[in-house]
Chain A
Amino acid sequence: MKPVPSSLFRSAFGALTLFAGGVLALALAFALAVPRARAHIVLPEKLHPVAESYRRVSFILNVIPVAWDQVDPEIVALAEYWRAIDAPAADNFLKDGQAIIAKATIKPDPEKGIEPMPRRQAAARVFELCTRVIPVLVRHHLKETEQRTDNRLETLAKVKKAHGIWQAFEDTLSVVDSEAYRAQGQAWLQMTSALGTPGLLGAGAVPFDRENFRQQSQVVLDYLDGSYGKEFHAVEGRRLAPAPIRSATFNHEAKLPLRLPPGTNINKQLPRPRQILNMTARGVDESETALIALGDMAFDSAEIFGEPARSLGINCNTCHNKSITNPNFFIPGLSARPGGADITGSFFAGQLNNGHFDPLDIPDLRGIRFLAPYGRNGRFESLRDFTRFAIVNEFNGDEPDPMLVDAIIAYMNEFDFLPNRYLNRDGTLNEQAPADARRGEKIFTRPFPQMNGMSCATCHIPSANFVDHKRHDVGTVKGSEPFSRDRALKTQTLLGIRHTPPYFHDGSHATLREVSEYFNNYYKLGLSARELADLTAYVETVGDGIDPMEDTVHTLEAEMQEFSFFLSAFEFLDDKNKPDLMGLTFRTIATEIRAHKWDLQDYTHLPVLDKMAELMDQADAARKTDDRVTMRKLVAAFRELYDKNKVFLK
């Protein structure tokens, strides 16, 4: 089972800004043309470094706000590659690109008449510059290949470089100009075929067909030059994408595809964190906890969200894997570092865009029922309000059925902290705790005049799970202006903290030692190196837990048990006449089985998983026609099939 909507990442600072027209248009333009179910473990897309940089920079430039400090390294990378081929041209490209970034990020000064270049205009100009680089580089490598040497491997490598760079446009071309895409693909195949082969030990040699190679390379180059040459311009008012609008076969109706860029990692961590559900820990029969089962299912379902999260397969569990932080989560342009993201940008839900790049560290949800208020700045007193807000406004979902929100909360209320063998019931350390930690405890509870007579424990109250349910300004947030009051954050628990680096709301501190040093400096506490070490040892000891991770990398068996658990809510939903929630359950189980099927260790049982997914599809179809009898039979068939085969589904 698993854990809450990304509730927790979100910014609390700055007013909600709605760019009604622009954002809505952009949100529409973001509509997915090619929804792709995501496999459980998604291998990173391997592209040529130039194509990767191009796709990343294209993605980042489309997000509002633009993470300009992530754009710069990408254009530097493109320039570096180009420099080895044509240094003056590369230098000009870099100079032009960085000049635009400088204009876009300059601090406004109305008195001096200094205004930054509008985001949309700056993003379009950088995008155009980067796009025009691609045909130049492809041409270089193809022309190089035409001068083939006797070393066929080197020649093939050059063609592969050219093709790899051409792939910068492939995901767009395949959708918006499929006819040209196929012709280009076949031209590349003609080229590799034309290379021939020296054979092996004198046998099988095929000569280089230079003329055919030249003709086919011209097919590719003509298209690239015609579509993306010096005349290429971003289409006004549309998402920035390499749309070949001058191609005779360009499909103006096609929606531009949206894919997460290279460098993205939304896989869950392996090994998995150990999740403790209170009911399970108490030995409760899971098949009788219907609301919790429904909540568990919803937590794993991308369908409760809207686009683009839904089509990208992103759900609560993606970020809050098994109720704790997913330290791998990273999306260029949204994340500043792994384990965090800016949810208050335009990407997931344009209406929530706050206009500034403020990625937040994904919080741990263990013990969430003890940790009100909610949100990094504690802006919601109620977990229910927070959950609904995350679904609707952070991830663009439809207004959820009240029962669904209740279910998610019932599920999250089961999340327990890891047990800690060093803590007494009142949160003090026991005698088993290391000596340095016990010395640190005294520092932790010592009142400091520099903190108005308070101690660390004043806010992180040991007997209250190390929280005080209040918000404080501890200097970690940069305010909107010098005397602004927008800096307070809620007190975070220290329980489990050892297993959830990095630290602070923005993940800016990598270790707990750094955190100790920060407070020592901020409050001028004057702690010695020894005291800092002891204080850190204390926090590490409080933040520790027994068996934080599962001991296996094989997850299918547990996942299958969980899907069975999801379905245990069926009778409850049937009884309450909740067809939409039954449908959500069926579709989520089918999607999850298909996503996890390749985790199976023995593929001979793949047909069983295919059949189980198919039964869920059929149950959903029966639900749609209100054929309850058939629906119930299909659910029974699913359960029977699972029971019969579960020993093999590992």
Chain B
Amino acid sequence: MKRTAFLSLLLTAAALSLPLPAAEKAGPKPKLAERPLNAKAAPLNIAFISYANPQQVARDSEGVTKYLQKYLGMAVKGFVTLDYGSAIEAMRSEKADLAFVDPLAFMMAHEQIGARPLLLEIYRSGKPSYHSCIWVRKDRGLKQLADLRGKSIAFADQVDMSGHLMPRDVFVRAGLLPARRIEGEFFKQIYFAGGDEQAMRAMFNGFTDAAGVSQYSLGLLRGEERDQVMALATSIESPAHLLMARPGLGEELTQRIKRVLVALDKTNSADKAILDKLYGVQGYVEAQLDDFAEIAKVAAAYGFVKKPEMFSVGKAKP
């Protein structure tokens, strides 16, 4: 899912008071010591992604860059890219040290330039993961996935983990679609609506029989509309969106960045203000490479990941 779209989903969920179980963060908040600014150190450059509103994201990113600067003791600069490809290219040329990306972009960046996973975002579900759903209207009389044979479905976008590959994988695992992308064998029509909300609306308005998008897309419908739809099936869990680091970023610095960001505590109002603007997440937990093992196989089926076995090797190397 696109970064801004995902932010929108999470904020919508927040506005609608979606449930907020305790986050799976272990232990009390570690104490952080402020560090004096080392003017000689090279600045830490962070890429933030925004498909829709780069100016807003640039403003919103100031909270976390200032926070990091305070506790890392080095200049921290944020910049906005309009898509994941640009962020990865910036990392390849060492113009970006860190980037906030989705799992698909990370896996490709890991394969192609050796990017490392640092931290997973924690969502309002309290988990650093999410899944996709096959959404249908309740009044359509659809009871199981097989009932969608010969019908239509809207996905969000061709290159979208939660808005295409994961929900598509639901049909593959049910033996209804081949593992590779072949149109027309099960569905009468597959659409790419241009976003999660557009896909959900297409299903709700009756333009399609189903929508395959993120679990959080339900929050894009109004309350009374939500009662009229249901999830026919859910996908495997995907690790959450994450912060990744370029190869070669020093180990000590990497560990400090993790410590400082994991210490952000939603129950602390100052920290909450930072997190709310940082894609609206609840906090961070450390990411492991093999968190991506299962979805790497899904992405590999569509040619995005070439060597899914790279993600089944235990902890990420420093």
Residues of chain A touching chain B, judged by Cβ–Cβ distance below 8 Å, are: 36-43, 153, 156, 159-160, 174, 181-182, 185-186, 188-190, 192-193, 195-201, 203-204, 206, 554, 594-595, 597-604
Among B159, B208, B227, point to the contact of A200 (Cβ < 8 A): B159
Instruction: Map CB proximity to A onto B172-211 as digits: 1 under 8 Å, 0 otherwise.
Output: 0000000000000000011111100010001001111000
Among A192, A198, A204, point to the contact of B304 (Cβ < 8 A): A204
Q: Hey, which chain B residues are within 8 Å of A192, CB to CB?
A: 191-194, 198
Q: Hey, which chain B residues are within 8 Å of A603, CB to CB?
A: 18-19
Tell me if B315 counts as interface (CB < 8 A to partner A): no
| A203 to B108 alpha-carbon distance, docked (Å) | 9
Q: Hey, which chain B residues are within 8 Å of A595, CB to CB?
A: 223-224
| A510 to B301 alpha-carbon distance, docked (Å) | 63
Contacts A189-B154, A189-B193 known; 8 new A-B pairs at CB < 8 A = A36-B224, A153-B82, A160-B194, A193-B191, A204-B302, A601-B17, A602-B19, A602-B20
Instruction: Map CB proximity to A onto B152-165 as digits: 1 under 8 Å, 0 otherwise.
Output: 00100111000000
Contact between A599 and B88 (Cβ–Cβ < 8 Å)?
no
Tell me if B105 counts as interface (CB < 8 A to partner A): yes
Tell me if B104 counts as interface (CB < 8 A to partner A): yes
| A599 to B18 alpha-carbon distance, docked (Å) | 8
Contact between B104 and A189 (Cβ–Cβ < 8 Å)?
no
Known: A185-B207, A599-B17, A601-B17. A193 touches B224 (CB 8 A): no
| A200 to B305 alpha-carbon distance, docked (Å) | 11
Contact between A598 and B15 (Cβ–Cβ < 8 Å)?
no
Contact between B222 and A203 (Cβ–Cβ < 8 Å)?
no
Known: A186-B207, A200-B84, A201-B108. A598 touches B226 (CB 8 A): yes
Known: A36-B224, A42-B222, A192-B194. A200 touches B108 (CB 8 A): yes
Q: Hey, which chain A residues are within 8 Å of B27, CB to CB?
A: none
Q: Hey, which chain A residues are within 8 Å of B206, CB to CB?
A: 182, 185
| A206 to B88 alpha-carbon distance, docked (Å) | 20
Contact between B17 and A185 (Cβ–Cβ < 8 Å)?
no
Known: A160-B194, A189-B202, A204-B158. A39 touches B112 (CB 8 A): no
Question: Which 6 A-B pairs have CB atoms at the shortest separation, nearest pair first?
Answer: A39-B223, A185-B207, A189-B191, A192-B194, A598-B223, A197-B158
Q: B154: shortest Cβ distance to chain A, in Å?
A: 6
Tell me if B276 counts as interface (CB < 8 A to partner A): no
Q: Hey, which chain B residues are within 8 Å of A601, CB to CB?
A: 17, 19-20
| A602 to B126 alpha-carbon distance, docked (Å) | 12
Contact between A196 and B207 (Cβ–Cβ < 8 Å)?
no
Nearest B residue (CB) for A159: B194
| A182 to B88 alpha-carbon distance, docked (Å) | 40
Q: A295: shortest Cβ distance to chain B, in Å?
A: 27
CB-defined A-B contacts under 8 Å, sample of 12: A38-B224, A43-B12, A43-B15, A153-B82, A153-B83, A189-B208, A192-B192, A193-B190, A197-B192, A594-B227, A602-B19, A602-B21
Among A153, A554, A594, point to the contact of B224 (Cβ < 8 A): A594
Contact between B192 and A193 (Cβ–Cβ < 8 Å)?
yes
| A550 to B12 alpha-carbon distance, docked (Å) | 24
Known: A153-B51, A174-B205, A189-B207. A200 touches B223 (CB 8 A): no
Nearest B residue (CB) for A40: B223
Nearest A residue (CB) for B104: A200
Contact between B159 and A199 (Cβ–Cβ < 8 Å)?
yes
Contact between A43 and B222 (Cβ–Cβ < 8 Å)?
yes
Tell me if B318 counts as interface (CB < 8 A to partner A): no
Tell me if B248 counts as interface (CB < 8 A to partner A): no
| A197 to B51 alpha-carbon distance, docked (Å) | 14
Tell me if B37 counts as interface (CB < 8 A to partner A): no
| A36 to B18 alpha-carbon distance, docked (Å) | 22
Q: Hey, which chain A residues are within 8 Å of B192, CB to CB?
A: 189, 192-193, 195, 197
Q: Hey, which chain B residues are within 8 Å of A195, CB to CB?
A: 192, 194
Q: A201: shortest Cβ distance to chain B, in Å?
A: 5
Tell me if B85 counts as interface (CB < 8 A to partner A): yes
Q: Hey, which chain A residues are within 8 Å of B222, CB to CB?
A: 39, 42-43
Tell me if B303 counts as interface (CB < 8 A to partner A): yes
Contact between B303 and A204 (Cβ–Cβ < 8 Å)?
yes
Tell me if B16 counts as interface (CB < 8 A to partner A): yes
Nearest B residue (CB) for A46: B197
Contact between B304 and A200 (Cβ–Cβ < 8 Å)?
yes
Contact between A182 and B19 (Cβ–Cβ < 8 Å)?
no
| A37 to B21 alpha-carbon distance, docked (Å) | 29
Known: A182-B206, A189-B191, A192-B192. A598 touches B16 (CB 8 A): yes
Q: A557: shortest Cβ distance to chain B, in Å?
A: 13
| A600 to B20 alpha-carbon distance, docked (Å) | 10
Nearest B residue (CB) for A42: B222
Q: Hey, which chain B residues are within 8 Å of A182, CB to CB?
A: 205-207
Nearest A residue (CB) for B181: A204
| A182 to B194 alpha-carbon distance, docked (Å) | 18
Nearest A residue (CB) for B201: A185
| A598 to B219 alpha-carbon distance, docked (Å) | 10
Known: A182-B206, A189-B207. A39 touches B158 (CB 8 A): no
